[in-house]
Amino acid sequence: DPIAMKNAARKLAAFDVDVILAYGAGATQAAMEETSQIPIIFAAVYEETFSASQLKNTSGVCSKLPISSLVRYLNTALNTKQLAVIYSVHEKDTIAQLKEIKRVS
Q: Domain residue spans in the chain?
A: 2-63, 67-104
Tell me the DSSP string of 8-69.
HHHHHHHTT-S-EEEESHHHHHHHHHH-SSS-EEEEEEETTSS-GGG-TTEEEEEE---HHH
Print pLDDT tens along the chain (105 aa): 889 999 999 999 999 999 999 998 889 989 999 999 999 999 988 776 677 667 788 888 887 778 888 888 888 888 888 888 888 888 877 888 889 889 888
